[in-house]
Amino acid sequence: MLSRIFIQNFALIQTLEINLHTGLQVITGETGAGKSIILGALRLILGERADVKSIQNSDTKSIVEAEFSISDHFKSFFDENDLDFDSQTVIRREILPTGKSRAFVNDVPVTLDTLKKLSEKLIDIHSQFETSSLLEEEYQFRMIDGLSKNKSLILDYQAEFQTYKALLKELETYKKQLLDGNKEHDYRTFLLDELDAAELDELDLEELQDQLSRQENADAITENLALIFNKTDQEETGLLDSMLDIKNRLYKIGGLSHEFTIYHQRFEGNFLEFKDFLFDLQNEAEKIENDPQIIFNLTAKLNIINALLLKHHVNSIAELREIRDQIRGEQTGFAELEDWIIDREKQIAISAESLEKMAGDLSQNRKKSVPGFIKKTEKLLKQLGLEKARLEVELTDLPSFSNFGKEKIELLFQANAGFPLKPIHTAISGGERSRVMLSIKKLMAENAELPTLILDEIDTGVSGKVAEEMGNVMKEMAENMQLIIITHLAQVAAKGNNNYKVIKKEVAGKTQSDVISLNEEEKLQEIAQLLSGAQITEAAVSQAKELMK
């Protein structure tokens, strides 16, 4: 339960502290006294966005604290989120003058997401302006599922549904990629075939150019080589014969003077190297042939490479290899894409089968609980003055999955006898809406694990006997839970186990809101004032005493 509220430097509140108890906690106060400010502060505990404009004194931070008495039932949440568990847990929000806000659970900093998940388990605030939620499909499903014991099942279903939607999205993305890829597949395949045909791995561009130049200039090369061989091999006057004669003479001189032996050895080495050089040159000369077909083939090969370099805007064979390997990888990825599509389709089929089973169980549980829901709600509505009211829950199958199963829900209502049931949003008035919402809240409270419920003027638009019965319903609700209500009705305020009043006062020239706990006499006076207005009459006091009995 919510045991304490502390607010500092927030809107009209300088410092405010309320200690709350079990049972029915009633808060009253004049319009504009600051009741909505307290609720606004509590909504920060629920993780709503902080507004720097709410800070009263812009020089210091604003603080909102809510202390809860909780059971070991919540310990698993604290363990999962690495928080310190305490049976007296304090949730705090701080708004800094800069506009930034911070959240804490038992003085441990937490994200707003963690704060929301925890606070939603501890408190539910329902405002008079939120009765429109009754008309929303999500609320209607929550209402029926709460009564159907579907809480665990609907969470499992929705988790699987999120997986299912993610798989569908992935499948759509892959199919689009495949479709886009198909448009370029043939062209990319052509480019790859073209690059593969060029046999780039074993290719050297400079060597290819040299081979072509050698073939194209074979005659000139042969002619010059022939002249060289003629100069070296001619008898008596040839270069080899002359060098041989020089070698022999150096040998003779070396025999006469040891110093010339070194020159002979040097010349002999060069002579042998020159002979090897001529031998290699002759071998190369024998390989040279002037073949037009070879020239044609080499020219064609070089033209292909130059065309590829120009087409792909690169300057080397190595870059062409990179482009070829990239396209090959893309083509491989293209095949993998088809495998991914098949895999996702299989996963979607498995997920859909699981969803189908869970959706069927959800629907079956809902249909079983609907008669009991209608019976209990109509009984409460009669108690609240809608004796002829009829209610129906219409569950209709859907062709595809939604966040709540495979069906849609519609609440049908009629407050008067002799008229057909209509969708509740077209058949319900403001006063009727408050009473229907209170009836449903009571049924939900009986089946929910919600320790604290705050109802903000849910009794708006009713009076007299109906107001009395609304008070009785709230009193019954508070027997099994902590119920905090904000009301202007004396009949409801009289039912409180503890009563509080929000007041406005002037401090140092500034208007401030505060809350005070009422004793029995003060409670009597407050109820009398609710009955008679500013001037409390004896009749009002007498009637207040009767209500308090």
The answer to whether the beta carbons of residues 287 and 148 sit under 8 Å apart is no
Residue 121 has pLDDT above 70, yes or no: yes
298: pLDDT strictly greater than 80: no
101 assigned to some structural domain: yes
What's the mean pLDDT in 280-292? 76
pLDDT tens figures, 509-526: 788 889 999 999 999 999
Q: 8 and 116 share a domain?
A: yes
Q: Does residue 374 sit within a domain?
A: no
Domain boundary among 307, 335, 363: 335
d(CA 44, CA 47): 5
Q: What is the mean pLDDT of residues 130-139?
A: 70
Q: Are residues 304 and 194 in the same domain?
A: yes
Using alpha carbons, select from 223, 149, 141 the residue that is nearest to residue 396: 141
For residue 392, give both structure tokens: 């129906």
Give the closest residue to 435 by CA, choosing from 385, 398, 374, 480.
385
Domain count, the chain: 2
User: DSSP of 364-432, one letter per residue?
Assistant: HHHHHHHHHHHHHHHHHHHHTT-TT-EEEEEEEEEEEEETTEEEEEEEEEESSTTS--EEHHHH--HHH
Domain ranges, residue 202: 179-335
Q: Do 185 and 142 share a structural domain?
A: no
CB within 8 Å of 166: residues ≥ 6 apart: none
Is it the case that residue 89 has pLDDT exceeding 60?
yes
Mean pLDDT of 312-339: 77
Q: Are residues 207 and 320 in the same domain?
A: yes
Is residue 103 located within the same domain as residue 29? yes
Percent of the chain's residues with pLDDT above 90:
33
DSSP 8-class letter at 32: T
- pLDDT at residue 108 greater than cutoff 70: yes
- Residue at 322 is within a domain: yes
Q: Same domain for 445 and 327?
A: no
Beta strands 452-456 and 123-127 are parallel
310, 335, 360 — which closes off a domain?
A: 335
pLDDT at residue number 466: 85
* pLDDT band at residue 461 using 50, 70 and 90 as cut-offs: confident
* Ordered DSSP codes for 177-194: HHHHHHHHHHHHHHHHHH
pLDDT of residue 367: 94
Q: Is residue 507 one of the residues assigned to a domain?
A: yes
In a domain, 342, yes or no: no
pLDDT tops 60 at residue 449:
no
Cα 501 to Cα 38: distance, rounded to the nearest angstrom: 12
In the numeric block, the tokens 């430097």 are attached to 9
d(CA 92, CA 529): 35
In contact, 542 and 43? CB cutoff 8 Å: no
* pLDDT (average), residues 197-216: 75
Predicted TM-score of the model (pTM): 0.63
| Proportion of the chain in helix, strand, coil states, percent, rounded to 5 | 60, 20, 20
pLDDT of residue 404: 95
CATH at 457: 3.40.50.300
Burial of 397 (0-12, 13-18, 19+ CB in 10 A): exposed
Q: What is the pLDDT of residues 392-439, one digit of tens each?
A: 999 999 999 999 999 999 999 998 888 899 988 788 776 787 788 888
Per DSSP, the residues of 83-118 read ----SEEEEEEEE-TTS-EEEEETTEEE-HHHHHHH
- Band of pLDDT at residue 274, cut at 50, 70 and 90: confident
Cα–Cα distances in angstroms (integers) from residue 244 to residues 240, 255, 277, in the given order: 6, 17, 16
- In terms of domains, do 193 and 331 share one? yes
Q: Is residue 525 part of a domain?
A: no
Looking at the structure, tell me whether residues 504 and 400 fall in a common domain. yes
Within-domain flag for 174: no
What pLDDT sits at residue 448? 63
User: Would you place residue 496 in the very low, low, confident or very high pLDDT band (cuts 50, 70, 90)?
Assistant: very high
Confidence at residue 133, expressed as pLDDT on a 0 to 100 scale: 62
Give domain status of residue 523, yes or no: no
Boundary-marking domain end, from 301, 335, 369: 335
Q: Are residues 405 and 322 in the same domain?
A: no
Q: Read off the DSSP letter of residue 495.
A: T
Mean pLDDT of 521-540: 89
Whether the per-residue pLDDT at 105 is higher than 90: the answer is yes
Helix (H) or strand (E) holding 44: helix 35-45
Q: Are residues 129 and 184 in the same domain?
A: no
pLDDT at residue number 398: 95
Q: Does one domain contain both 277 and 206?
A: yes
Q: Among 50-54, 181-185, 479-483, which range has the highest average pLDDT? A: 479-483
Q: What is the mean pLDDT of the chain?
A: 85
Assess whether pLDDT exceeds 90 at residue 142.
no
Encode pLDDT of 362-382 as tens digits.
Answer: 999 999 999 999 999 999 998
- Residue 166's identity, in one-letter code, is A
pLDDT number for residue 158: 94
Q: Answer yes or no: do 74 and 124 share one domain.
A: yes
Quote the pLDDT of residue 191. Answer: 74
